[in-house]
């Protein structure tokens, strides 16, 4: 899944200008001809360590489960363990 996300990111960057031009013109037919994966909406935030798509914490770039494990191990400074 991580490889797919990297591939989608490359497509998004490649078609970014063309997509913006077509949107400016209002050309919906031209937009439909672009690859589906070139749309930024298809990109999903994933945990940097596990690749998990759900429970993503943007500030840290990891999932909630990974965050919890790291906080319990004392790897994240300033985080105290509450009643989990």
What mean pLDDT do residues 5-12 have?
91
C-alpha to C-alpha distance for 59 and 41, rounded to whole angstroms = 20
Query: Where does CATH 4.10.830.10 sit in the chain?
Result: 45-84
Give the global pTM.
Answer: 0.66
pLDDT, one tens digit per residue, over 18-51 is 999 999 999 889 999 999 999 999 888 999 999 8
30, two tokens: 């031209």
**What is the CATH architecture assignment of 45-84?**
Irregular (4.10)
Residue 18's pLDDT is: 94
8 Å CB contact between 18 and 33: no
């Amino acid at each position: 899944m991580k490889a797919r996300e990297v591939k989608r990111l490359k497509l998004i960057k490649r078609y970014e200008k063309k997509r913006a031009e077509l949107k400016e013109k209002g050309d919906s037919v031209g937009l439909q001809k672009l690859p589906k994966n070139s749309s930024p909406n298809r990109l999903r935030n994933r945990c940097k360590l596990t690749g998990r798509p759900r429970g993503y914490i943007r500030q840290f770039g990891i999932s909630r489960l990974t965050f919890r494990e790291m906080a319990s191990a004392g790897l994240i400074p300033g985080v105290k363990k509450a009643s989990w």
